[in-house]
Amino acid sequence: MVGRELVVEADRPETSETKSGRSVAISERELTRTAEIGIIEDVMSAVKLLPGVGYTGMFGAMPSIRGGDPGDLTAVFDGFYLERPYHWVGSISIFDPKMVSSARLSHGVFSSRYGHTISGLLEITSKSPSPTETELEMAIGSSAASLNLSYPLNGKGGILFMGKVTYWDTLVWTMQGLSKVIENERLDMINAISTAPYIRSAAIAAHYRFTPDLEWRLNSFFGSDGVGARFHNEYDNEDTWGNMDIQADYHNYQGFLVSGITASPNPLTALKVTGGVGFNRTITDDMINNNITARYNNDFLDSIKDNPFLYGLATKSPTYTAPDLDVLLALKHTIFNAQARVDIDRDLGKGFIAAFGVQELYSLWSQKQHIDLFLEIPVHALSLEYIAGLPPEFAFLSLLPHMDNLRVLLPRDHRSEAFNQGFTTSGYGLLEYISPNQRFGTELGLRVDHLYFLGKSFSAQTLPALNPRLNLDFNIMKNKGVLDSLDFTIGTGLFSSINPLVSFIEGDAWIGNYDLKFNRSWTSIAGIKVDLAQSFSFNIEGYYKYVFDRAYITADIASSNAIVPTFHFDGIGNVWGFDLQLQKLESRYWDGWISYTFTWAKYYDPSGGGEGLNMGNNTDSEGGLWYYPSFHRFHNSNIVLNFKPLRWFNIAARFGFASGQPRNKVGSIYSYPVVAIDKDGEPVVIQKYRRDSWYDEDERASWSFPLDVKFSFFLFDRKGRVGTEIYLAAENLMSLVYKPAGNVRFNDYTGKEDTAGSGNFDFPIPMVSFGFKWKY
Question: Read out DSSP for 385-450?
Answer: HHHHTS-GGGGGGGGSPP-TT-EEEEEEEEEEEEEEEEEEEEEEEEEEEE-TTSSEEEEEEEEEEE
Tell me what the mean pLDDT of segment 41-68 comes to: 92
pLDDT at residue 7 greater than cutoff 70: no
* Close Cβ partners of 646 (under 8 Å, ≥ 6 residues apart): none
What does the angle CA 114 – CA 119 – CA 124 come to, to the nearest 5 degrees?
50
> CA-CA distance, 410 to 217, in Å (whole number)?
57
Over residues 42-59, mean pLDDT: 92
Residue 758 has pLDDT above 60, yes or no: no
The pLDDT assigned to 182 comes to 72
Averaged pLDDT for residues 206-223:
95
pLDDT at 610 (0 to 100)? 44
- Give Cα separations from 175 to 140, 182, 189, 229, 708 (angstroms): 20, 10, 10, 15, 19
Categorize the per-residue pLDDT at 599 as very low, low, confident or very high, splitting at 50, 70 and 90.
Answer: very high
- Of 117-121, 649-653, 677-681, 708-712, give the lowest mean pLDDT range: 677-681
pLDDT at 598: 98
Residue pair 112/447 in contact by the 8 Å Cβ criterion: yes
Residue 191 pLDDT exceeds 80: no
What one-letter code names the amino acid at 589? Y
**Does 617 have pLDDT greater than 60?**
no
For the segment 140-158, the average pLDDT, to the nearest whole number, is 92
pLDDT of residue 109: 95
Give the mean pLDDT of 271-277: 96
Instruction: Return the ∠ at Cα 409 (arms to 403 and 411), rounded to 5°.
Output: 145
Question: Rounded CA gap, 119 and 106, in Å?
Answer: 9
Tell me what the mean pLDDT of segment 658-685 comes to: 89
- The string of pLDDT tens digits covering residues 446-479 is 999 999 999 888 889 999 999 999 999 999 998 8
Q: Average of pLDDT values for 543-564?
A: 83
Q: Which residue has the higher pLDDT, 233 or 469?
A: 469
Q: Look at residue 108 in the predicted model and tell me its pLDDT.
A: 92
Which one is predicted more confidently, 508 or 299? 299
Minimum mean pLDDT among 223-227, 289-293, 589-593, 618-622: which range? Answer: 618-622
| Beta pairing partners, 271 | 263, 344
Model pLDDT, residue 562: 67
Burial of residue 736, with CB atoms counted within 10 A of its CB: 0-12 exposed, 13-18 middle, 19 or more buried: exposed
Percent of the chain whose predicted confidence (pLDDT) is above 90: 50
Q: What pLDDT score does 356 carry? A: 96
- Is residue 41 scored above 60 in pLDDT? yes
Range of weakest confidence among 357-361, 454-458, 505-509: 505-509
Q: What are the angstrom distances between the C-alpha of 266 and each of 303, 342, 344, 433?
A: 86, 17, 12, 20
Residue 167 has phi, psi (to 5 degrees) of: -140, 95
Please tell me the predicted confidence (pLDDT) of residue 616: 42
614 pLDDT above the threshold of 50? no
How far is 43 from 31, CA to CA, in rounded Å?
7
Question: Pseudo-torsion of CA 381, 383, 389, 393, nearest 10°?
Answer: 60
pLDDT at 653 over 90: yes
Mean pLDDT to the nearest integer, 687-713: 91
> Is residue 496 a contact partner of residue 518, using CB atoms and an 8 Å limit?
yes
CA distance 565 to 143: 42
> Average model confidence (pLDDT) for the chain?
87
Tens-digit pLDDT profile for residues 703-751: 999 999 999 999 987 776 788 999 999 998 988 888 777 667 788 888 8
Q: Rounded to whole angstroms, how far apart are CA atoms 348 and 355? A: 10
- Which is more confident, 451 or 194? 451
Predicted confidence band of residue 560 (pLDDT cuts 50, 70, 90): low
Q: Residue 563: name the closest of 573, 576, 553 by CA.
A: 553
Q: Where are the alpha helices (DSSP H) in 328-403?
A: 384-388
* 402 band by pLDDT with thresholds 50, 70 and 90: confident
- Give the pLDDT confidence score for residue 361 in this predicted structure: 96
Q: What is the pLDDT of residue 65?
A: 96
Q: What is the mean predicted confidence (pLDDT) over 167-192?
A: 74
Give me the pLDDT at residue 37, please. Answer: 82
Q: What is the pLDDT of residues 422-454, one digit of tens each?
A: 999 999 999 999 999 889 999 999 999 999 999
Tell me what percent of the chain is helix, strand and coil, each rounded to the nearest 5.
Answer: 10, 55, 35
Q: Look at residue 694 in the predicted model and tell me its pLDDT.
A: 86
Q: Identify the residue with better confidence: 680 or 655.
A: 655
- Within 10 angstroms of residue 318's Cβ, the number of other Cβ atoms is 10
| Strands (DSSP E) found in 659-735 | 665-666, 670-677, 683-690, 693-694, 707-716, 723-731
The residue type of 200 is R
State the pTM of this model: 0.89
The per-residue pLDDT for 496 is 96
Residue 65: Cβ-neighbour burial (10 angstroms; 0-12, 13-18, 19+): buried
Q: Is the pLDDT of residue 13 over 50?
A: no
Confirm if 183 and 223 have CB atoms less than 8 A apart. Answer: no
pLDDT, position 511: 76
